[in-house]
Amino acid sequence: MQATKAGKQDSAAARAALALGQMLLNSGDAPAAIESFRMAARSGEAMALTMLGRIHDRGWGVAPDPVQAADWFRRAVDAGEAWAMFNLADLHLSGRGVTRDTATAHALYAKAAGHGHVQALNMLGMLAESGDGPDLPDAADDYFHAGAEAGDPWAMFNLARRMIETGHIESALGWLGRSLNCGFPDYWRAMAAGLAGHSDSRLRTLAAQARARTAAAATPAPDHHQEPPSC
């Protein structure tokens, strides 16, 4: 009974340290955030390991160090943390801090998707489409559709893009319209660039709407949370 109670207290303390680390990081106090994340990690909080990896990967308050980032991500992957799987896959896909290895990237994205990581489905689609993974190119549509249905705006955009390429613009418009409401400034900016200048006026209208949303977005306080909005 006492051991169970102590375990619950340790878990609660780890979650509190993780939340505090996130607040400190968002406020710009990276050194204090790192200490808080380390405390959470020592208590077994896998997301804290991932956040330490993100800090070193992105250079939030420290010099960027993808090698050290990869080490933190590996530790979090061993603990079953899906975002660490995704982030380590990104490193292997780009070759930052690790050997560029699309097979390893694919395996990690697939593992992340198996743990419910929606954005990993989009990346599996991108690998299939480019021929850099073990899947046939036609599998890209299945991955993009699964990611779109799960609420990832990037997957919605890529699914719509492929629909436009095959002349199914009406279906594409539906997904693009939905993605506007699921998106965020970086996504709206990419969407506007991807649709600008298209011959179909409806797609140009969506591009204008995406630009307007980007312009209207108030400049927020830095938010280093892992997961972008989805719907």
Residue-wise pLDDT for 87-100, tens only, equals 999 999 999 999 99
Q: For residue 124, name the pLDDT band (cuts at 50, 70, 90).
A: very high
Provide the 3-class DSSP secondary structure of residue 45. Answer: coil
Domains of the chain, earliest start first: 117-231 (1.25.40.10)
Mean pLDDT of the chain: 92
Q: Which runs of consecutive H residues, i.e. helices, occur in the chain?
A: 2-26, 30-42, 46-58, 66-78, 82-94, 102-114, 118-130, 139-149, 153-165, 169-182, 185-195, 201-216
b/e 94-122 (16+ beta carbons within 10 angstroms → b): eeebbeeebebbbbbbbbbbeeebbbbbb
- Judged against a pLDDT cut of 90, whether residue 6 lies above it is answered with no
pLDDT confidence of 5, banded at 50, 70, 90?
A: very low
pLDDT interval class at 217 (50, 70, 90): confident
Tokens of 133: 């993974």
Q: How confident is the model at residue 3 (pLDDT cuts 50, 70, 90)?
A: very low
CB 181 within 8 A of CB 231: yes
Determine the pLDDT at residue 221.
Answer: 45
For CA atoms 185, 190, 193, 198, give the dihedral sign.
Answer: negative
pLDDT score recorded for residue 7 = 46
Q: How far apart are CA 119 and CA 121, in angstroms?
A: 5
Phi, psi of 214 (to 5 degrees): -65, -45
